[in-house]
Amino acid sequence: MKRYNYILGLSIIATTLFSCGDSNGKADGYGNFEATEITISAENSGKLMQFDVNEGDVLKKQQFIGYIDTIPLALKREQLEVSKAVVSSKSRGVLSQINVFNSKLKNGNINKDRIENLIKDNAGTQKQLDDIEGDIDVLKSQIRSVEIQNAPVVNELKSIDVQLRQIDDQIQKSKIINPLAGTVLTKYAEPNEITTFGKPLYKIADLKTMQLRVYISETQLANLKIGQEVTVKIDDDTSMKSYKGTISWIASEAEFTPKIIQTKEERVALVYALKIDVANDGSLKIGMPAELWLTQE
């Protein structure tokens, strides 16, 4: 009889401990891991001469990974340089005159700054400042006069300069530079393929920190706030593996529970979505299901 009472007492204690540490054995929320995925597209059209990317590669920010053929652009730039030289030879006198005026204008602005500083120190006069400002206005008028008289030539040179800058920009954008550190998820192109502006080349995401999107009821919402630490669990070989997470976002409006969550009856309930940042040790993958626990067992 004593042995029976001893065993019964142990059973009651064990039951009490388990009931205190486990709220009916159910998690407070369910969801899936996600990450911000960025699709990197071509910024120019042409043949992919080099493209050193494979799925699963970990890339650094600003890492050079390839380039699009720039020979057509280089030839076009050379042609523009020749055109500019021809036009310049016709207007060398005009350009020389404008350069002289610009040089005088630069010196005039320097003298103006010097006189303004002297006036602040009571070492200069207002007349000196008025004289230099008058000289600057005259120089500007002379430059405008020369440009008006030779507007066709000047405008043609300006147009060529704009085209050269556009070509240089296109050549720069022919280089494929990875914009952010992360892991390559999907590769859409191969070397020697012809690509076009806006065509996707690869998809990348930073997997060092994953976001768990979970859904909670309105009654749970009052106990949660951004920055709060919670426990996240995933399925392991024999048990559940726990992670520390931090709530980074809480939805301001309710929505119907997504279809991926549990039963049909539960999917018609109104819930609030929230995101939890979790440091990834390499085990967390995009789309992996996980549980939210507000209390540590």
Statement to judge: residues 203 and 64 lie in one domain: yes
Statement to judge: residues 196 and 211 lie in one domain: yes
Among 2-16, 93-107, 134-148, 256-270, name the one with the lowest average pLDDT: 2-16
Q: What is the mean pLDDT of residues 252-256?
A: 81
- Residue 296 confidence (pLDDT): 57
- Residue 1 confidence (pLDDT): 39
Domain boundary among 112, 141, 172: 172
Q: How confident is the model at residue 278 (pLDDT cuts 50, 70, 90)?
A: very high
Q: How confident is the model at residue 232 (pLDDT cuts 50, 70, 90)?
A: very high
- Residue 11 confidence (pLDDT): 39
Q: What is the mean pLDDT of residues 191-211?
A: 96
Model confidence pLDDT, tens digit, residues 139-197: 888 888 877 777 787 788 889 999 999 999 999 999 999 999 999 999 999 999 999 99
Cα dihedral 241/247/252/258 (nearest 10): -10
Does the pTM surpass 0.95? The reply is no
User: Which of 19-28, 43-52, 97-106, 134-143 is most confident?
Assistant: 43-52
Residue 94's CB is within 10 A of a number of other CB atoms, namely 17
Q: What is the mean pLDDT of residues 67-93?
A: 89
Statement to judge: residues 226 and 256 lie in one domain: yes
Statement to judge: residues 106 and 162 lie in one domain: yes
Tell me whether residue 141 is in a domain: yes
- Residue 259 confidence (pLDDT): 56
Q: How confident is the model at residue 297 (pLDDT cuts 50, 70, 90)?
A: low
Asked if residue 214 lies in contact with residue 276, where contact means CB atoms within 8 angstroms, the answer is yes
Domain containing 195: what range?
A: 23-69+174-297
pLDDT above 90 as % of the chain: 50
| For residue 241, pLDDT beyond 60 | yes
Residue type, 6: Y
Query: Cα angle at 95 between 161 and 137, to 5 degrees?
Result: 105
Residue from 158, 140, 12 nearest 83 by CA: 158
- Give a three-class secondary structure readout of the chain: CHHHHHHHHHHHHHHHHHHHHCCCCCCCEEEEEECCEEEEECCCCEEEEEECCCCCCEECCCCEEEEECCHHHHHHHHHHHHHHHHHHHHCHHHHHHHHHHHHHHHHHHHHHHHHHHHHHCCCCCHHHHHHHHHHHHHHHHHHHHHHHHCHHHHHHHHHHHHHHHHHHHHHHHCEEECCCCEEEEEECCCCCCEECCCCEEEEEECCCEEEEEEEECHHHHCCCCCCCEEEEEEECCCCEEEEEEEEEEECCCCEECCCCCCCHHHHCCEEEEEEEEEECCCCCCCCCEEEEECCCC
CATH number at residue 42: 2.40.50.100
Tell me whether residue 205 is in a domain: yes
Tell me whether residue 7 is in a domain: no
| For residue 236, pLDDT beyond 90 | no
Asked if residue 69 lies in contact with residue 225, where contact means CB atoms within 8 angstroms, the answer is no
| For residue 129, pLDDT beyond 90 | no
Among 44-48, 96-100, 203-207, 229-233, name the one with the lowest average pLDDT: 96-100
| Number of separate domains in the chain | 2
The CA distance from 6 to 25, in Å, is 27
Sheet order of strands, 46-51 included: 175-177, 64-68, 46-51, 194-195
Mean residue pLDDT across the chain: 84
Statement to judge: residues 110 and 186 lie in one domain: no
Tell me whether residue 289 is in a domain: yes
- Residue 22 confidence (pLDDT): 44
| For residue 209, pLDDT beyond 90 | yes
Domain boundary among 117, 137, 172: 172
Tell me whether residue 11 is in a domain: no
Asked if residue 59 lies in contact with residue 205, where contact means CB atoms within 8 angstroms, the answer is no
Tell me whether residue 14 is in a domain: no
Statement to judge: residues 47 and 187 lie in one domain: yes
